[in-house]
Amino acid sequence: MQDREQILKLLQPLLEPIQEGVMITDLGGVLLCHNHGLADLFGLDAEDCRSLSMSDLGGHNMRRILIQAGLDREEETGAHHCEMSLQFDHAFEINSDVRWMRIHTQLLILPCENGRIRMIVFRDITAEKRLFAAMSSKDACGIATEDPDMMRLIDRLNVVAGTDASVLLQGESGTGKTELARLVHQRSRRANKAFVEVNCGAIPASLIESELFGHVKGAFTGAVRDRAGRFKAADGGTLFLDEISELPKELQPKLLRVLQDGEYEAVGSDKTIKVDVRLVSASNQDLREMVDDGAFRPDLYYRIAVVALQVPALRDRPGDIPMLVDVLHKRLVVRGYPADVRFAPEAIRTIMNYPWPGNVRELANTVEHAIICAADGVVGNDSLPDTLQEYCHARRTQSEAPALLRDERDEIEQALRKANGNKTLAAQILGVDRSTLWRRMQRLGMS
């Protein structure tokens, strides 16, 4: 019978190709061996690995973590429960960054003396944790991200959320500005108060003042009763003004006043109303350019843009697309769509190569379309909307065209060399008539 050390030496090469971190210990917690994946996960160098122990795995006592998670030493050393396994998630601070690990530990029995050992497998699930944290918020798929720029933006919003500073989110339509506004509200001290959303571009200019500030009965034709308005509805909470660039210029001084002084008058009333409202605004136009063009008041711009942030377009964060596809699919499953549909690799490539002018909103429609049109539970290129297929076909044609033209030119030049410049003979070599050869040469700019 082989001894334990010999078996572990045979086992070591089998551990190295495993991407997860793996460590093997005896039942007393002494580290017997590990793979390079473990060192990579915990940011350990060669010196750290030589002195690695269960009690100090990157500054963490793994033995204590296992026991706290439910691994009882008496059970571990007893005659029963030899097959006992345990799986749990734990957050580790690694190089000043919090990383979540899914830990699976299993007792194993080697065919030797002292053959009872424990294998512990670590898998980094930080991305999954961020994904499901984003999914826990209503319609928050647009902020599921691993993109550095987007993560910095969210980190900044998390800091700003605890204040009452006005926030301006600028970026293309469909990038998730509404979701980011909700994030600011949810992580603020106003989270238990109202979040009121107004799309300034969807309300006629003649009605938007009444919509925002309310009116009294008889203030204008059709005002048959008093109306409080959105500022009053948001009192104590957050007001989100989407497409604030569409706000009529004559109404901008009134908005500036309520932001500065917290007071306004309803349409048709001389009674001053006081409110406590935190403003978050969004625009798909560059408000600084509008200020320069005289289309937006500079004093109002500086009031609403205490914290001004640019939301990146989806085409600038292509690495997030597979994650977003997964999030959007899970949301559709909640709505009753099939859960067992999978996206083929070629479909994911097509989706990632598309520029997404409609950003996350367009991606959401595409995922729904694709799942509806999936064949036998698989989304292929044929399941995707025509817009994506036509775009990718056009790109392939454009990339292939120069090569095809070069090949055709080379073929004609070779035939002409063989025919010593005689076009009739060259046409015969190519198997075409002389007029066809002439047209091809004209198209290729050949004399």
Q: Which of 172-181, 380-389, 404-413 has the lowest mean pLDDT?
A: 404-413
Q: Give the model's pLDDT for residue 66.
A: 77
The whole-angstrom separation of Cα 235 and Cα 190 is 10
Q: Give the model's pLDDT for residue 190.
A: 92
Q: Give the model's pLDDT for residue 371.
A: 96
Confidence check: pLDDT of 303 > 50: yes
Q: 258 lies in a domain?
A: yes
Residues 276, 178 share a domain: yes
Q: Give the model's pLDDT for residue 30.
A: 81
The whole-angstrom separation of Cα 357 and Cα 390 is 15
Residues 318, 397 share a domain: no
Q: What is the mean pLDDT of residues 36-62?
A: 78
Domain boundary among 355, 384, 413: 384
Share of the chain above pLDDT 70, in %: 87
Task: Identify the band that residue 405 occupies on the pLDDT scale cut at 50, 70 and 90.
Answer: low
Write out pLDDT tens, residues 155-206: 899 899 999 999 999 999 989 899 899 999 988 999 888 899 999 999 988 8
Residues 293, 158 share a domain: yes
Q: 143 lies in a domain?
A: no
Q: What is the mean pLDDT of residues 5-13?
A: 82
196 pairs with which residues across the strands? 239
Domain boundary among 384, 415, 432: 384
Q: Which residue has the higher pLDDT, 30 or 303?
A: 303
Residues 306, 203 share a domain: yes
Confidence check: pLDDT of 263 > 90: yes
Residues 287, 240 share a domain: yes
Q: Convert 91-124 to b/e letters by CB count within 10 Å (16 or more is b).
A: ebebeeeebbbbbbbebeebeeeeeebbbbbbbb
CATH of the domain at 434: 1.10.10
Residues 256, 231 share a domain: yes
Helix (H) or strand (E) holding 106: strand 97-109
Q: 142 lies in a domain?
A: no
The whole-angstrom separation of Cα 314 and Cα 85 is 42
- Which of the given ranges, 60-74, 96-110, 135-149, 177-191, has the highest pLDDT on average? 177-191
CA angle (255 as vertex; 253, 259 as ends), nearest 5: 115
Residues 296, 325 share a domain: no
Give the pairing of strands 21-26 and 116-124: antiparallel
Residues 119, 33 share a domain: yes
Task: Identify the band that residue 443 occupies on the pLDDT scale cut at 50, 70 and 90.
Answer: low
For residue 365, the 8-state DSSP code is H
The whole-angstrom separation of Cα 421 and Cα 441 is 13
Residues whose CB falls within 8 Å of the CB of residue 245, separated by 6 or more in sequence, listed in order: 200, 201, 283, 284, 285, 287, 290, 295, 296
Q: What is the mean pLDDT of residues 416-425?
A: 84
Confidence check: pLDDT of 54 > 50: yes
Residues 244, 111 share a domain: no
Q: Which residue has the higher pLDDT, 410 or 269?
A: 269
Q: Give the model's pLDDT for residue 209.
A: 93
Residues 363, 261 share a domain: no
- Token couple for 374: 């999936």
- Token couple for 215: 């009116």
Q: Give the model's pLDDT for residue 69.
A: 62
Confidence check: pLDDT of 328 > 80: yes
At 85 the three-state DSSP class reads strand
Task: Identify the band that residue 247 occupies on the pLDDT scale cut at 50, 70 and 90.
Answer: very high
Q: Which amino acid is at 383?
A: S
Residues 28, 64 share a domain: yes
At 33 the three-state DSSP class reads strand
- Token couple for 376: 């036998």
Of 361, 281, 348, 290, which Cα lies nearest the Cα of 321?
348
Q: What is the mean pLDDT of residues 313-340?
A: 90
Q: Give the model's pLDDT for residue 73.
A: 47
Share of the chain above pLDDT 90, in %: 40
Confidence check: pLDDT of 60 > 50: yes
CATH of the domain at 356: 1.10.8.60
Q: 254 lies in a domain?
A: yes
Q: 278 lies in a domain?
A: yes
Residues 371, 339 share a domain: yes
Q: Give the model's pLDDT for residue 138.
A: 38
Q: 423 lies in a domain?
A: yes
The whole-angstrom separation of Cα 54 and Cα 52 is 7
Of 231, 252, 253, which Cα lies nearest the Cα of 240?
231
Q: 42 lies in a domain?
A: yes
Provide the domain limits for residue 75: 4-124
Task: Identify the band that residue 31 occupies on the pLDDT scale cut at 50, 70 and 90.
Answer: confident
Confidence check: pLDDT of 150 > 60: yes
CATH of the domain at 106: 3.30.450.20
Write out pLDDT tens, residues 335-355: 889 999 999 999 999 999 888
Q: In total, how many domains does the chain have? A: 4
Q: 112 lies in a domain?
A: yes
CA distances (Å), origin 1, targets 111, 115, 199: 7, 11, 77
Q: Which residue has the higher pLDDT, 196 or 66?
A: 196
Q: Give the model's pLDDT for residue 130.
A: 63
Task: Identify the band that residue 2 occupies on the pLDDT scale cut at 50, 70 and 90.
Answer: low
Domain boundary among 275, 310, 345: 310
